[in-house]
């Protein structure tokens, strides 16, 4: 082969993926975990929004959102009732963008010891039984006289 001739490149190999019925299937336990998490989110939101009819920050607009003080991506504190307060959509968005305002309002509302405890718990590695958590939140909502059908106003 001469120096002027180009070598033909091999076409890239496609990595086969496992499909069942044309769609990728997720493992059953993961689907159940997500379904129970969604159910727990609904009940947590209902309970937190029932704390007050007004936003915790502006005290003027009616409550439409349940705001997490510690991010909901941390599953250890995601459904902790101390980790939430009712708020309006405007203030919820504002506190999501301004970290200093978020921390100031959180410490003002829940207190410094609770804020520090939530931040310590968020990184703990422990297995969470999401089904049990959803059932406990539902029981707490029923104990407080709350129902999901009445909660969906928007």
Chain segment 7-57, per-residue pLDDT in tens: 777 777 766 555 555 566 667 788 888 999 999 999 999 999 999 999 999
Check pLDDT > 60 for residue 1: no
Instruction: Evaluate whether residue 13 is within a structural domain.
Output: no
Number of domains forming the structure of the chain: 1
pTM: 0.77
Instruction: Evaluate whether residue 34 is within a structural domain.
Output: no
Question: What is residue 101's three-state secondary structure?
Answer: helix
Instruction: Evaluate whether residue 15 is within a structural domain.
Output: no
Instruction: Evaluate whether residue 41 is within a structural domain.
Output: no
How far apart, in whole angstroms, are the C-alpha atoms of residue 103 and residue 93? 14
Range of the domain at 76: 52-137
**Phi, psi (5° rounding) for residue 66?**
-110, 115
């Amino acid at each position: 082969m001469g120096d002027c001739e180009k070598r033909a490149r091999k076409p890239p190999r496609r990595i086969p993926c496992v499909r069942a019925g044309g769609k990728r299937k997720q493992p059953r336990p993961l689907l159940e975990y997500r379904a129970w998490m969604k159910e727990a989110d609904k009940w947590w939101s209902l309970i937190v929004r029932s704390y007050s009819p007004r936003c915790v920050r502006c005290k003027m607009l009616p409550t439409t959102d349940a705001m997490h003080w510690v991010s909901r991506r941390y599953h250890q504190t995601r459904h902790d009732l101390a980790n939430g307060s009712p708020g309006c959509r405007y203030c919820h968005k504002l506190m999501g963008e301004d970290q200093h305002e978020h921390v100031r309002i959180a410490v003002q509302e829940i207190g410094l010891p609770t804020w520090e405890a939530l931040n310590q718990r968020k990184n703990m590695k422990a297995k969470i039984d999401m089904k049990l958590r959803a059932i406990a939140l539902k029981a707490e909502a029923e104990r407080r006289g709350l129902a999901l059908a009445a909660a969906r106003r928007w």
